[in-house]
Amino acid sequence: MKPVLVFDWNGTLLDDAHALLQTTNAILDRFGRAPIDMKTLQEHCDVPLARLYHSLGMSEDEIATIDRDGSAMFHDAYERLADKADLREGARRVLELARQEGALSIIVSNHIIEPLRFQLKRLGINDYIDDVLAFETRTSQYKSMSKGERLRLHMQKNNLRPASTFIIGDMPVETEIGRNLGLISISITGGFVSESRLRAADPDYTINNHHELLPILQRHGFFGMHKL
């Protein structure tokens, strides 16, 4: 039996929290609002991002303007910054080990498939990822199937066992998906959400980087011959 590793993308595999912060501040500046710091972002960040903007005190009209044209205001700024982002610490090593062990590595994301695939190729990890479950276009983002439902259907179609499936993410939503689908949930700090918010969601494990994922997998009987 091989494990299935289900990774969130933004903030989890991709180290793009600062890209999100810069993009958010660019949007706030456009509406004449003061910038925020990383601590504030991590205390308020939520998806869809309209929840973040609302939490930061933006009006419904301002949020509607941001969401116009498939949220072009956000994506046009964010993608330029994401092109400079690297992988989170230890992520490449874990993906390499998963490929060596014949484990499945899946990305389930609220991002858009095309730019996500571009980043996988840019970072040289496209061949390590077996499937990418994400939104098809900007205009369908957050308007079609949720990432939890997308993952549920994918697992059902491919007969993936929940008991040997790990979901790794930097937001409480991944813990909730894990709980709903009977998966082993692992929260990683240093992404879009504060550690206190992650722990309040009560994941099975909390890690600070992907190197700390290996001992958890070994505790469950996987990747036993490998060392950090």
User: What is the model's pLDDT at position 176?
Assistant: 98
User: What is the model's pLDDT at position 170?
Assistant: 98
Tell me the pLDDT tens digit for each residue of 6-16: 999 999 999 99
pLDDT tier for residue 226 given thresholds of 50, 70 and 90: low
Q: Work out the average pLDDT over 25-50.
A: 95
Tell me the pLDDT tens digit for each residue of 80-108: 999 999 999 999 999 999 999 999 999 99
Return the HEC string of the chain: CCCEEEECCECCCECCHHHHHHHHHHHHHHCCCCCCCHHHHHHHCCCCHHHHHHHCCCCHHHHHHHHHHHHHHHHHHHHHHHCCCCECCCHHHHHHHHHHHCCEEEEEEEEEHHHHHHHHHHCCCHHHCCEEEEECCCCCCCCCCCHHHHHHHHHHHCCCCHHHEEEEECCHHHHHHHHHHCCEEEEECCCCCCHHHHHHCCCCEEECCHHHHHHHHHHCCCCCCCCC
Q: Work out the average pLDDT over 185-205.
A: 98
Which of 142, 124, 12, 132 lies closest to 75, judged by CA? 142
Q: What value, to the nearest 5°, has the Cα angle with vertex 10 and ends 71 and 202?
A: 115
Q: Work out the average pLDDT over 177-199.
A: 98
**Over 70: is that where the pLDDT of 218 sits?**
yes
pLDDT tier for residue 162 given thresholds of 50, 70 and 90: very high
- Count of CB atoms within 10 A of residue 81's CB? 16
